[in-house]
Amino acid sequence: MGERPEISVVVPAFNEEANVVPMVERLVAALDGVVEGFEIVFIDDGSKDRTWAEVAALAERDRRVRGVRFARNFGHQAAVTAGIDAARGTAVVLIDADLQDPPEVIPELVAKWREGFEVVYAQREAREGESWFKKTTAAFFYRTLRAITNVDIPLDTGDFRLMGPRAVEAFRAFGERNRFIRGLVSWVGFEQAGVRYRRHARNAGETKYPLKKMIRFAIDGITSFSFLPLRLATWLGFAVSALAFVYIVVVIGLKLAGINWPGYTSLMASILFLGGVQLIMIGILGEYLGRVFDEVKQRPLYLVGESTDGTVPVVGRARGRERGDDEAGR
């Protein structure tokens, strides 16, 4: 296994066959001689194309390349988690496989880390090759998230970042299933700094985050960091009660003044309005309840089919099975 590399680069890849080789070439060019040893850990998130074949071939030739193959598609955030779990380096860099995040920025992240920052995130100052829709919704989402959570998630950051050893250790201790990694990494605290960069267009292939997944991801982000949607019910309840009270006073006043106010339309309107509000609130409760259910089941976060060096266990994160748990637990 040799000595510990300074940097582990974690690359989640889902159907990225055309990006694996250029990714490794650019990472090697950017890091060779710049850092004291590095490894590249690909997590093949159940790809249906030749991604794994490409990774395995590279790993055969270059010992710095490692690969972990999931038993099926577990999703981007699970892949990143597995990468962090498998990493052997002192610091871990998270980067997308599609070369949207240029590997050439990594030495800048490393330089900041060496200055003493524990987490160095890369902040997009421009995004090329992404639709107007994606950019606007992303901008809106990050601003909303920042406004309603008490976690200081920096604006316009993705998962492209460097985590120092203390942040990595903290991250590995998280047991939760619904993971919003960029939020969790901010949550750990320590000294954090940003480096600005230009986000490029995808190198090859197409986005693995269609609108549906983006919405899921956004809901995950909000629910795992904020109770505000739940409180909304209380506020709405107070607001509607106040309105109802005013309405009652008005109606009684009109009655006393001898004015008769027929009520079909307003009755219909308020029934439908309140019905809608109540259903939305039940839906929000459901979102949280579903997540609680997920956490309670304690299923493993991901399953590993194979790894290039054969050292990565099938079940990496079964909670309650960790060493010493049996004695400590009872």
Catalog residues that contact ligand UDP under the rule CB under 6 A: 12-14, 16, 45, 73, 75-76, 79, 96-98, 100, 207-209
Instruction: Assign 18 to helix, strand or coil.
Output: helix
User: Rounded distance, CA 144 to CA 162, Å?
Assistant: 25
Please answer whether residues 186 and 154 qualify as being in contact, where contact means their C-beta atoms are separated by less than 8 angstroms.
yes
Q: Which does 133 bind (CB under 5 to 8 A by kind): ligand UDP, Mg ion, none?
A: none
CB of 205 to Mg ion, least distance (A): 9
Nearer to ligand UDP, 73 or 270 (CB): 73
Residues that bind Mg ion (CB under 5 A): 96, 98, 100
Residue written as token pair 């040799």: 2
CB of 209 to ligand UDP, least distance (A): 4
CB of 56 to ligand UDP, least distance (A): 17
Q: Which does 221 bind (CB under 5 to 8 A by kind): Mg ion, ligand UDP, none?
A: none
Nearer to Mg ion, 17 or 96 (CB): 96
CB of 244 to ligand UDP, least distance (A): 45
Q: Which does 317 bind (CB under 5 to 8 A by kind): Mg ion, ligand UDP, none?
A: none
CB of 322 to ligand UDP, least distance (A): 25
User: Rounded distance, CA 274 to CA 271, Å?
Assistant: 5
CB of 264 to ligand UDP, least distance (A): 50
The first and second tokens of residue 172, run together, are 């590995």
Q: Which does 118 bind (CB under 5 to 8 A by kind): ligand UDP, Mg ion, none?
A: none
CA atoms within 13 A on the CB side of 232: 16
Nearer to ligand UDP, 77 or 192 (CB): 77
Please answer whether residues 98 and 16 qualify as being in contact, where contact means their C-beta atoms are separated by less than 8 angstroms.
yes
User: Rounded distance, CA 38 to CA 60, Å?
Assistant: 16
Residue written as token pair 């590279």: 58
In our burial notation (b when 16+ CB lie closer than 10 A, e otherwise), range 255-280 reads: eeeeeeeeeeeeeeeeeeeeeebeee
C-beta neighbour count of 91 within 10 angstroms:
25
Nearer to ligand UDP, 64 or 202 (CB): 202
Nearer to ligand UDP, 104 or 326 (CB): 104
Nearer to ligand UDP, 141 or 288 (CB): 141
CB of 208 to ligand UDP, least distance (A): 3
Q: Which does 208 bind (CB under 5 to 8 A by kind): ligand UDP, Mg ion, none?
A: ligand UDP
Q: Which does 79 bind (CB under 5 to 8 A by kind): Mg ion, ligand UDP, none?
A: ligand UDP
Sheet holding 91-94, edge to edge: 192-199, 119-127, 157-163, 91-94, 7-13, 38-44, 65-70, 304-307
